[in-house]
């Protein structure tokens, strides 16, 4: 007799407790290594100090874009992000820290814990949304199987295991990819449950961390979901304008935002246009740098320079083609020219997952840790496969994606400034995006009424 899948967990066995204990020890041990590398070496091996130094600059009435960390790196995020970093404020040598600032080693540990917590929350949230939207009706998924072998655990842990190295690389460097992932998953979960305004607010939070999540607003615009657009505009007004104005005052508000916009456009231009001042970074994975680095490998080029014109044009062309394919494949599935909009929740959820993965490769300055955004799409593939087969049987090609991402670091050779790992790591993500577009085409129009 079948019943609605509930996701209830039976009591773990002793073996399961041992596996969970090993996972917990691994997370803690990697956190200790992250703190050691970020706080106790002569040269901090973390990007977190960039954020903390920007928080100190806000407190000291200085521009967060002019105070480098101990590596000489400068802050290139939004002013509101710098404001949020004030509790972590880390002063340059010899300057005083705020009395309330978290001690630097503890701040690095807290930032790691926050990043890992965001990953765990995002993984659970996307899995729970898939259970409610896709694994419904009479799907049982071998629910009598116990604990870590049970679908509830697999749906939450397997995608993280597949992307483990890129996740670890991002968390170990103090990057914000898992925080951005959480906001995008929250946007999707709220959107498919009809909470459009709050979905827009969630998306504005991600945009305040990194600008590129704003791409997902295109899905709401296609669906003419104006409450979502209104929520996004409201959130951006509060995060980009109101809070910074209240904290900084008029003069500093204008100066800081002018500095922010100037540096963002300058950085993008230097990377994206031939003849710029910056060479292509070895760990960049956007379509343009990706094609340029593959050409460099095949032509035995010994060093990377600025992105050439042909790679810039290829980046624009390929990125536009993938976004256009998402729009075309989704017509009649998650959006329609006519009203009312399709109520096909699986297609809408898949569309946001695809857009999230695309962000990692259409952004000109994306780096290897952006591949973390592919976890959302990977989890969607598992849920769709389970729904199609009626059992918790995961396709072998998904294991191949995970294996590819595990093998890629082993190819981290020294040629061309150690570009092999980032270059190879993008292949499985591109394959996933192509497979996702195919899966979206297979999603029929379940309901032509707005839901």
Residue 304 to residue 310: CA distance in whole angstroms: 15
pLDDT score for 57: 94
Higher pLDDT, 300 or 31: 31
* Residue where the block lists tokens 């509101």: 80
Cβ neighbours, 10 Å, residue 93: 5
Residue 262 β-bridge partners: none
Give domain status of residue 20, yes or no: yes
pLDDT score for 4: 47
pLDDT score for 139: 59
Higher pLDDT, 355 or 262: 355
Asked if 443 and 389 touch (Cβ cutoff 8 Å), the reply is no
pLDDT score for 143: 47
Give domain status of residue 447, yes or no: no
Q: Which of 6-10, 136-140, 283-287 has the lowest mean pLDDT?
A: 6-10
DSSP 32: H
Give domain status of residue 3, yes or no: no
pLDDT band at 127 (very low <50, low <70, confident <90, very high): very high
With 60 as the cut, is the pLDDT of residue 144 above it? no
> Over the chain, what is the mean pLDDT?
85
With 50 as the cut, is the pLDDT of residue 419 above it? no
Q: Which of 256-260, 387-391, 409-413 has the lowest mean pLDDT?
A: 409-413
Percent of the chain at pLDDT > 90 equals 54
pLDDT score for 360: 92
The set of residues, in sequence order, having a beta carbon less than 8 Å from that of 134 and lying 6+ positions away, is 346, 349, 383, 384, 386, 387
Six token digits for residue 404: 């590819």
Give domain status of residue 396, yes or no: yes
Q: How many domains does the chain have?
A: 1
Give domain status of residue 5, yes or no: no
Mean pLDDT, to the nearest integer, of 76-90? 94
DSSP 302: S
pLDDT band at 146 (very low <50, low <70, confident <90, very high): very low
Residue 411 to residue 363: CA distance in whole angstroms: 24
pLDDT band at 222 (very low <50, low <70, confident <90, very high): very high
pLDDT score for 422: 62
pLDDT score for 149: 58
pLDDT score for 280: 76
pLDDT score for 431: 93
Give domain status of residue 450, yes or no: no
pLDDT digits (tens, 9 = 90+) for 349-364: 999 999 999 999 998 7
Give domain status of residue 7, yes or no: no
Our CA angle for 333, 336, 340, nearest 5°, is 105
pLDDT score for 393: 81
Higher pLDDT, 142 or 415: 142
Backbone φ and ψ of 216, nearest 5°: -65, -20
Mean pLDDT, to the nearest integer, of 1-11? 47
Percent of the chain at pLDDT > 70 equals 85
The b/e string for 220-252 (b: 16+ C-beta within 10 A; e otherwise) is: bebbebeebbebbeebbebbbeebbeebbeeeb
Mean pLDDT, to the nearest integer, of 377-398? 89
Residue 106 to residue 117: CA distance in whole angstroms: 16
- Global confidence as pTM: 0.90
Give domain status of residue 381, yes or no: yes
pLDDT band at 117 (very low <50, low <70, confident <90, very high): very high
Domain range for 232 is: 14-138+148-442
pLDDT score for 142: 55
Mean pLDDT, to the nearest integer, of 210-228? 95
Q: Which of 22-36, 75-89, 95-109, 127-141 has the lowest mean pLDDT?
A: 127-141
Mean pLDDT, to the nearest integer, of 65-72? 90
Higher pLDDT, 305 or 211: 211
Six token digits for residue 111: 């930032």
With 60 as the cut, is the pLDDT of residue 190 above it? yes
Higher pLDDT, 369 or 20: 369
pLDDT score for 445: 53
With 90 as the cut, is the pLDDT of residue 201 above it? yes
């Amino acid at each position: 007799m079948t019943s609605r899948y509930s996701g209830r967990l039976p009591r773990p066995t002793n073996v399961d407790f041992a596996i969970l204990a090993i996972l917990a020890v691994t997370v803690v041990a990697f956190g200790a290594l992250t703190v050691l590398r970020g706080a106790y070496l002569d040269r901090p091996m973390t990007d977190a100090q960039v954020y903390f130094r920007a928080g100190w600059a806000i407190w000291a009435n200085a521009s967060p874009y002019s105070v480098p960390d101990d590596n000489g790196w400068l802050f290139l995020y939004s002013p509101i992000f710098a404001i949020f970093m004030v509790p972590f404020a880390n002063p340059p040598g010899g300057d005083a820290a705020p009395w309330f600032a978290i001690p630097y080693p503890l701040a690095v540990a807290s930032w790691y814990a926050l990043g890992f917590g965001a990953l765990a929350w995002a993984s659970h949230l996307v899995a729970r949304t898939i259970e409610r939207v896709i694994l419904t009706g009479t799907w049982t998924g071998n629910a009598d199987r116990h604990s870590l072998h049970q679908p509830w655990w697999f749906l939450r842990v397997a995608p993280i295991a597949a992307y483990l190295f890129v996740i670890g690389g991002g968390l170990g460097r103090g990057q914000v990819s898992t925080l951005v992932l959480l906001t995008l998953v929250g946007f999707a979960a709220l959107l498919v449950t009809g909470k459009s305004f709050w979905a827009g607010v969630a998306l504005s939070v991600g945009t305040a961390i990194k600008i590129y999540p704003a791409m997902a607003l295109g899905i709401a615009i296609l669906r003419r979901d104006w409450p979502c657009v209104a929520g996004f505009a409201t959130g951006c007004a509060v995060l980009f304008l109101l809070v910074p104005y209240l904290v900084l005052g008029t003069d500093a508000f204008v100066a800081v935002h002018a500095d922010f916009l100037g540096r963002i456009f300058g950085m993008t231009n230097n990377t994206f246009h031939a003849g710029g001042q910056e060479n292509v970074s070895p760990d960049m994975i956007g379509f343009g740098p990706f094609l340029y680095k593959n050409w460099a490998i095949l032509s035995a080029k010994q060093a990377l320079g600025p992105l050439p014109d042909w790679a810039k044009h290829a980046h624009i062309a390929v990125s536009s083609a993938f976004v256009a394919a998402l729009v075309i494949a989704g017509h009649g599935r998650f959006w329609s020219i006519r009203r009312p909009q399709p109520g096909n929740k699986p297609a809408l959820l898949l569309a946001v997952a695809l857009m999230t993965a695309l962000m990692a490769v259409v952004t000109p300055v994306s780096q290897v840790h952006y591949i973390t955004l592919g976890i959302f799409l990977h989890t969607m593939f598992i849920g769709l496969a389970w729904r199609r087969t009626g059992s918790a049987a995961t396709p072998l090609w998904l294991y191949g994606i995970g294996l590819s991402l595990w093998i890629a670091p082993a190819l981290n050779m020294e040629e061309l400034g150690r570009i092999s790992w980032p270059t190879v790591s993008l292949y499985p993500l591109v394959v996933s995006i192509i497979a996702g577009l195919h899966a979206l085409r297979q999603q029929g129009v379940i309901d032509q009424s707005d839901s």
